[in-house]
A and B are shown apart, each in its own frame.
Chain A
Amino acid sequence: MDRLLNIDRRIIFIFVLLGVAIPLLIDIHLPIKPTPTVRAVYDEIERVSIEDPDRPVLVSFSYGASTMPEMEPMTRSILHHLFSRGRKVVGICLWPEAVGLAQPIMDELAAEFGMKYGTDYAFLGYKPGAQAVVLNLGQSMAGTFPFDTAGTPVGDLPILAKVQNLKDFSFVFDFAAGDSMEFWWIPYGQEKHRFPFAGGCTAVMAPDLYPFLQSRQLVGLLGGLAGAAEYEALIGVSGSATSGMEPQSVTHVIIILFILLGNTVYFTTRRRGGKA
């Protein structure tokens, strides 16, 4: 029993490795059921596409390379949905690393849907300042981001011709790997200017954001790879999040089995009066 309690961690690592690798090689089809928080984002994009089709959507990228496996699938699925509905999209970055990660995805998906740069979408790059950037965006778009990443003045971009500040966007979405939603966008953006706001974040952050869902400061939320997979199911696209759900499911089961095993061994040892 003691040997089981002090099992070599490399054995656990091997099980986790197999739990990830085998489902990637063998197709195990598991149905994905979208949760209400994810469906709310989908419904909001559908709503603004019908009720407010002229004003552009602002997407903010606040993530870095380490969280890319979780954040990239949701970036793709949200942009896919927006472009498929013909929405004009303006992208900004509040994390410096996000420029190199988000811009290629935006360009790729825009090309797939025949969107024209400057008219249908624009990418304004990164500005330092965190919440100060959001505060400035609430006052002046061109004052905060005077140029796009190619050096074009934003005044020359038709997509931003009627945009003065945050109030002129029909919907704002933040891809967050840090605290940008609760400490930057909600207090200095959404709460001041009252625009429809939703976000996508890493799985570990999602529980922190539930109070903002109930207060409706967040319309909806995509949490981690599971949130992205649910969104892919809603838009009918099977991407990397959907294929990632099978290894994640098996790995979760393996971890649960190990926890149950650990508890069984612990209580058996304790009942026998052993050291646990």
Chain B
Amino acid sequence: MLFLTRTLPFLFCFVFGMTGWVIYYVPHEWAQTVEREIALWLRLVYAFAYFLGLFSLLSLHWSKIRQRQAGWAYSLIVYISFGVMTLFVVYNDGHGPFAAQATTGPYQWMFTSVHVASSATMFSMLAFFISSAAYRTFRARTPEAAILLVSAIIVMLGRVPIGAYISDIIPDTMQWLMSVPNMAAKRGILLGVSLGAIATSLRIIFGIERSYLGGGD
């Protein structure tokens, strides 16, 4: 059992990790073929992950409904919505499940008029919460916070036409802030994150980090 639960996953991780790393830099035909096959397998894993996600979502909400947890009615809506959309996909505006997805019909209507509209509304509501949060928390308590506050105001004005309407200096300063200090900070963060990702990947490939195998060590 130890071989199946520990050794085999570690071997897979080592072999595919090293192969994926090395072939990225090798332009030879055989290396390209291996890369293509690995990428294809990765896509298959991705596709199966959707089933896993679906199973996880439905089982989570099923347990909420069964135990009548707070807000279980919302979980019921998840089931109803899932069922209705699945039916509409199978119906496919009268063309059946094996034809190409119809660009009209009840599925498209539900997608455009319910899903798109509600998702966009949820995202748009952020503007209201950000405004309230900015009023309460954006304070120039320290010199660093004051610099951040001034920069934020310049960027907020410079990103919209009213900035240029007030003065051409505002969008130009905004562009400088984005292209110089922002870029320097982002590059530093990106390099740090990338080096961290490389270090973590190497730890996983060489079996130093084994928490992904489960078991608590």
Contact = CB atoms under 8 A, between A and B. Distances in A.
Given A68-B116, A128-B50, A259 B149 contact: yes
A65 B110 CA distance: 12
A22 interface: no
Contact of B122 (A66, A129, A130): A66
Given A69-B124, A252-B156, A136 B43 contact: yes
A149 B160 contact: no
Nearest to A5: B136
A151 B190 CA distance: 41
Given A127-B43, A258-B134, A68 B119 contact: yes
Interface stretch (A45-53, A77-85, A109-117, A243-251): A243-251
Interface string B120-133: 10111001101110
Contacts of B140: 263, 267
Interface of B: 24, 32, 35-36, 39-40, 42-43, 46-47, 49-50, 99-101, 103, 108, 111-112, 115-116, 119-120, 122-124, 127-128, 130-132, 134-136, 138-140, 149, 152-153, 156-157, 159-162, 164-165, 168, 171, 175, 178-179, 182-183, 186-187, 190
B146 to A, nearest CB: 9
A33 B164 contact: yes
A97 to B, nearest CB: 8
Given A65-B115, A69-B124, A151-B100, A252 B162 contact: yes
A211 to B, nearest CB: 4
Given A210-B183, A254-B131, A259 B138 contact: yes
A78 to B, nearest CB: 19
A194 B163 CA distance: 36
Given A135-B35, A262-B138, A12 B131 contact: yes
B46 A245 contact: no
Interface of A: 7, 9, 12-13, 15-17, 20, 30-33, 35-36, 64-69, 99-101, 103-104, 107, 127-130, 132-133, 135-136, 139-140, 143, 149-151, 182, 192, 203, 206-208, 210-211, 213-214, 223-224, 226, 229, 245-246, 248-256, 258-259, 261-263, 266-267
Nearest to B190: A211
Nearest to B133: A9
Contacts of B179: 210, 213-214
A104 B108 CA distance: 11
Contacts of B47: 128-129
A135 B39 contact: yes
Contacts of A20: 127
B131 A30 contact: no
Contact of A139 (B36, B46, B120): B36
Contacts of B39: 129, 132-133, 135-136, 139
Contact of B32 (A68, A139, A249): A139
A207 B186 contact: yes
A66 B123 contact: yes
Contact of A129 (B43, B116, B168): B43
Given A12-B128, A132-B40, A135-B35, 8 more contacts: A31-B164, A65-B116, A107-B103, A133-B43, A214-B179, A245-B160, A250-B162, A258-B134
Nearest to B188: A211
Given A100-B108, A245-B160, A266 B139 contact: yes
Contacts of A203: 159
A11 to B, nearest CB: 9
Contacts of B40: 132, 136
Contacts of B50: 128
Nearest to B174: A35
Contacts of B124: 69
Contact of A211 (B42, B123, B187): B187
Contacts of B182: 207, 210
B100 A149 contact: yes
A79 to B, nearest CB: 17
Contact of B134 (A32, A182, A255): A255
A132 B161 contact: no
Nearest to B111: A100
B49 to A, nearest CB: 8
B160 A252 contact: yes
A135 B46 CA distance: 14
Q: Which 7 pairs across A and B sit closest by C-beta, in order of nearness?
A: A129-B43, A65-B119, A30-B161, A249-B162, A132-B42, A66-B119, A210-B183
